[in-house]
A and B are shown apart, each in its own frame.
Chain A
């Protein structure tokens, strides 16, 4: 029996037949495909294309110049980007080191039975549900040098004797931005932990109790290992959100003093929307996206490893 060669025309015929068979389905999904292509795929490809150019739309007397990988090498060798990246990592580390234990503590608390637990759980979500801009304005008031609640509170308790302009010190301004960010991000992390806690079978705790395990032993040997996947998810989300942080910086410090709070998300805004360096900004956006993608892959591998072990 000899194989019949598949010719080009027969392949085309098969495709045509396929289209004819799925005509209705294709017509129905066409609008979505067009919208996704127009609003997502095309802009993505276009931004990749312009990332190879020196394109500055407010100076049309300078023609766009093809730079090849010039924008990418400029970014990778730029001290300003390096510093912004360092601040972003700082935000992520603060978010992870303070935010995750805090979120886990809240989740453990909310997992216990107590009166009005449902209400407390709902209230817990308010900071997360508040729009970023409102959150920023609220924290600007809290940190205000003259009328801020933080100063008022510390002054009332006798901890400070003069009001402090918190956001003017480069050494602490970023930490204060990070703390304001935790206010809105911890509730969501808590909720994820809570969901994880509720999926742990009670029998495991009962059995451990019968074996005489202490509370800490149960937490360290049952709760924490079984929450590792949620932990990783929170880790991924917190890292990504640090790269995307913009609104708080914009409203609290505008990147100052002396660029000390200029994180990568804000730097991207400055380059793209204030200086309108579209080529450079596109390249930076692609680099950030790639970096996040790498982190997600690493986290996902770790997660898979954890699940396999479990």
Chain B
């Protein structure tokens, strides 16, 4: 009896110890699990992007971020033309729908003035600030505040087909627009190409972009220090006159340009041997000189953009920097900043440049030896020089409206409905009306 009772006590003691051990083990497991927990577990960051922006490299970076931090990225991919209206609609409804999105330089002033994007002044360390390229800064900084980190920070590069030029008797690309006209005339005379300069000048943003590129080559300021139109005077007029002459007088430009949109068409014309010159975004030689994509691979080179004439002329081009920003209505601002820093900061930008050739707005990325090696055969040295003279489009809170008016007046001049001066004067009048309307506060 006694033996039975003692053995029962032993049994209870054993069970008790086992339970304790199990409890301890489970506590240990949870401690280990806690130690392995990621800083943004359970956080969802929502972003909007277009299919062109959602590249494989971007997806890889997003996956890396998710794996490193435990955050979940919810990416809404919509057609490019729907991105801005969707962001505007979401922002007008409180801005909670998207945490992070990319905005082009032309929209940053409007978004900042509307209070739709959060300032990042507290996050922007002096190192980050000093690392941003000057033209890219304008895409992230407005009215004394930082609003984002540079996304794809492209500028247009002047590319040419060296073989066509050589056949026409030229060993070097044009240095000035006058040179380009002379070369065009010779190329046409020799029957090499009917329209040597390929551009997209349909009634869309691409037309304004090219006007800014050519006006900047003449050093023409589009607006004066008071923000009033200056494009209808001096070199601003010269730039548009050159465009009209390239199309109608010298016939360097294909008339089809008036209905042609985007860089893809320019690239296609170059690859088909239908043009000798073009302005292209990004790192165009990767594509043009790729034998899998181009029958004329190996014939293309990059040169500094042609200069205008006059005291302010330079081989300037146009830039189109984008910025990754945080919605002011975001409920996950800290997590969103973590994402931005990783994805659009120098580290992520270097990865993007190396893996998909997306130009970055960081000095350290341009100077990175791996990036330099990647760009060695793609005109990297010229591209690095070109970005120093990259000029942005006007920074206006009513840019979309101004651009629409500019597109119309530029086309009026190109098709001969108005003289260049009349078209630009009418644009100046329209600009004054827009300024009066959109700077009125009530």
Chain A interface residues (CB < 8 Å from chain B): 57-63, 65, 145-146, 165, 167-170, 253-259, 270, 273-276
Contacts and interface: CB of A to CB of B under 8 A. Distances in A.
A270 B405 CA distance: 12
Contacts of A254: 202-204, 261
Interface stretch (B208-216, B310-318, B409-417): B409-417
B411 A258 contact: yes
A257 B203 contact: yes
Q: DSSP class of B's interface residues: helix, strand, loop or mixed?
A: helix
Interface in B244-294: 254-261, 269, 274
Nearest to A170: B415
Contact of A276 (B88, B411, B414, B417): B88
Given A254-B261, A276-B85, A61 B114 contact: yes
16 contacts: A58-B110, A58-B400, A59-B113, A65-B442, A145-B254, A146-B269, A165-B259, A167-B258, A168-B256, A169-B415, A256-B202, A257-B411, A258-B414, A270-B404, A275-B400, A275-B401
B313 to A, nearest CB: 29
Nearest to A169: B415
B3 interface: no
Contact of B110 (A59, A146, A255): A59
Contacts, number: 93
Given A58-B110, A254-B202, A256-B202, A146 B442 contact: no
A62 B438 contact: yes
Most B CB contacts (10 A, CB to CB) among A58, A167, A255 go to: A58
A302 B204 CA distance: 43
Contacts of A276: 85, 88
A259 B408 contact: yes
A167 B114 contact: no
A273 B85 contact: yes
Nearest to B413: A258
B401 A57 contact: no
B361 interface: no
Contacts of A275: 400-401, 404
A258 B261 contact: no
Given A167-B259, A168-B255, A274-B400, A256 B203 contact: yes
Contacts of A60: 92, 114-115
B441 interface: yes
A240 B407 CA distance: 29
Nearest to B194: A162
Contacts of A273: 85
